[in-house]
Homo-oligomer: A and B are copies of this chain.
Amino acid sequence: MNSGQRTLTILGSTGSIGKQALEVVSSLGEMYKIGYLTVNKNIAELEKQAMQYSPIGVVVKEEKYYKEFVASTSFKGEILSGEEGVAAAAEFDSNDMLLSALVGFSGVIPTLKAVRKGINISLANKETLVAAGSIITEAAKESGSEILAVDSEHSAVLQSLVGENKSEIEKIILTASGGPFLNTSPELFEGLTVKEALNHPNWSMGSKITIDSATMMNKGFEVIEAHWLFDLEIEKIDVVIHPQSIIHSLVQFIDGSVKAQLGLPDMRIPISYALTYPRRLSYNFPRLDLAEIGNLTFAKPDENKFRCLPLAYQAIKTGGTAPAVINAANEVAVEAFLNEKIRFTDIADIISFVLERSNIIFNPTIDELIEVDYETRLITENYIGSLFK
């Protein structure tokens, strides 16, 4: 055993990010051993991962699949279940790094537990900072936990800021592909199908984040996330449309100079950067060839077409629980859209409706946040139900 070896626990190991993270861990050689791997229900994939990576333990969150896994697995380590299992994995004493690749608000509590124990976080679950940014960043300051975002945009900002002074940042500019509907005319928006919305031009991701990309709520969430990660006023965070997803984001400094990180759209680069930060290790991922790509284009986002983006700005300007409200309303609305209960354009309408009617709590506790999340979901579900009476 390598004495300098670090322990990595992955929440959501069978999702798109989780799988790519394990691929990166393999190519890092002895740098990491695996603490826990957690899944909701994909026990077939978990079985393979447990055999290949020999974690200390695994968690199958859903009781039914947990029982099935226990009955059939050859895995000899600890097997846990439920939210308590996920939380135990997150705050496992030996964790040096927690990769949170959960989807939605479910990532908040286990991440907070790990942060409070001073464990460093590779954060792919952006809803954690959207919903609970003030609580998470406050806890990280107290415990010394370092939070590194695992998405191409915030990784680009982080890489552009290495060696720079925070006081010399003028603004950061997040690039957005614009998703599958960038060039779709607004009249067609009402009739857009789930299949069309799931067809992202550059990135292969889970269905929730792919719909968020199509509405550009994903970019709005990234604006909120950047606000917390880099401790910057919302006025200093811009979005520019860049359909090729080659420039992953930019930082403009007070002298007018701009720095950026570029690369092919390959999540393994930001994953490995977070896992080896601030060092870089050698990989044979395909390389960017600008001459081959030939053309990079940029445009202002159309906020009349992508109304979720200004809603995100509005929520963070409002502050308090407003971002948690749009996050919860968005989760429910996206699920309803995926289940073909509502139209694509209803997503922004529903979030806007719910946000306007919510009572904002400023400086919420974590329990208040959980309550707001729960109530907002109920309100949103009821509202969606009422639309079809």
Give the interface of A toward B (CB within 8 A).
159-160, 162-165, 168, 173, 240-242, 247, 250, 252-264, 266, 269, 272-273, 276, 278-283, 285-288, 290-291, 293-300
Closest-CB distance, A236 to chain B (whole angstroms): 13
Tell whether, in the assembled complex, residue B162 and residue A162 are in contact, meaning their CB atoms are under 8 Å apart: yes
Q: A295-B298, A298-B293 are in contact. Are A160 and B282 (CB under 8 A)?
A: no
Tell whether, in the assembled complex, residue B241 and residue A255 are in contact, meaning their CB atoms are under 8 Å apart: no
Complex interface: chain B residues within 8 A of A252 (CB): 287-288
Tell whether, in the assembled complex, residue B273 and residue A262 are in contact, meaning their CB atoms are under 8 Å apart: no
Tell whether, in the assembled complex, residue A173 and residue B257 are in contact, meaning their CB atoms are under 8 Å apart: no
Tell whether, in the assembled complex, residue A258 and residue B266 are in contact, meaning their CB atoms are under 8 Å apart: no
Q: Which of B250, B283, B293 contacts A262 (CB 8 A)?
A: B250
Q: A291-B300, A299-B294 are in contact. Are A255 and B240 (CB under 8 A)?
A: no
Further contacts, 4 of them, CB under 8 A, given A254-B282, A254-B283, A255-B269:
A240-B290, A259-B262, A295-B297, A296-B297
Which B residue sits closest to A238, measured CB to CB? B291
Which one of A164, A257, A282 has the highest number of Cβ atoms from chain B below 10 Å of its Cβ?
A: A257
Tell whether, in the assembled complex, residue A266 and residue B261 are in contact, meaning their CB atoms are under 8 Å apart: no
Tell whether, in the assembled complex, residue A279 and residue B168 are in contact, meaning their CB atoms are under 8 Å apart: yes
A-B contact pairs, 10 of them (CB 8 A): A163-B164, A252-B287, A252-B288, A254-B280, A255-B285, A256-B286, A256-B288, A257-B273, A259-B260, A260-B262
Which B residue sits closest to A272, measured CB to CB? B255
Tell whether, in the assembled complex, residue B159 and residue A162 are in contact, meaning their CB atoms are under 8 Å apart: no
Tell whether, in the assembled complex, residue A298 and residue B290 are in contact, meaning their CB atoms are under 8 Å apart: yes
Q: A163-B164, A298-B295 are in contact. Are A258 and B254 (CB under 8 A)?
A: no
A256 and B260 alpha carbons, distance in the complex (Å):
14
Copies of this protein chain in the complex:
2
Complex interface: chain B residues within 8 A of A276 (CB): 255
Q: Which of B162, B165, B260, B296 contacts A280 (CB 8 A)?
A: B165
Which B residue sits closest to A253, measured CB to CB? B280
Q: A252-B288, A257-B273, A262-B258 are in contact. Are A164 and B165 (CB under 8 A)?
A: no
A281 and B167 alpha carbons, distance in the complex (Å):
10
Which B residue sits closest to A281, measured CB to CB? B255
Tell whether, in the assembled complex, residue B294 and residue A297 are in contact, meaning their CB atoms are under 8 Å apart: yes
Q: Which of B241, B256, B269, B295 contacts A263 (CB 8 A)?
A: B256
Tell whether, in the assembled complex, residue A163 and residue B165 are in contact, meaning their CB atoms are under 8 Å apart: no
Complex interface: chain B residues within 8 A of A240 (CB): 290-291
Closest-CB distance, A277 to chain B (whole angstroms): 11
A257 and B288 alpha carbons, distance in the complex (Å):
8
Complex interface: chain B residues within 8 A of A286 (CB): 256
Tell whether, in the assembled complex, residue A258 and residue B255 are in contact, meaning their CB atoms are under 8 Å apart: no
Q: Which of B282, B288, B299 contacts A291 (CB 8 A)?
A: B299
Complex interface: chain B residues within 8 A of A173 (CB): 290
Which B residue sits closest to A299, measured CB to CB? B291
Complex interface: chain B residues within 8 A of A285 (CB): 255-256
Tell whether, in the assembled complex, residue B165 and residue A279 are in contact, meaning their CB atoms are under 8 Å apart: yes
Which B residue sits closest to A24, measured CB to CB? B255
Complex interface: chain B residues within 8 A of A257 (CB): 159, 261-263, 269, 273, 280
Tell whether, in the assembled complex, residue B298 and residue A259 are in contact, meaning their CB atoms are under 8 Å apart: no
A159 and B263 alpha carbons, distance in the complex (Å):
18
A262 and B288 alpha carbons, distance in the complex (Å):
17
Top 6 nearest A-B pairs by Cβ distance?
A163-B163, A162-B163, A290-B298, A256-B285, A254-B282, A258-B262
Complex interface: chain B residues within 8 A of A168 (CB): 279-280
Complex interface: chain B residues within 8 A of A296 (CB): 295-298
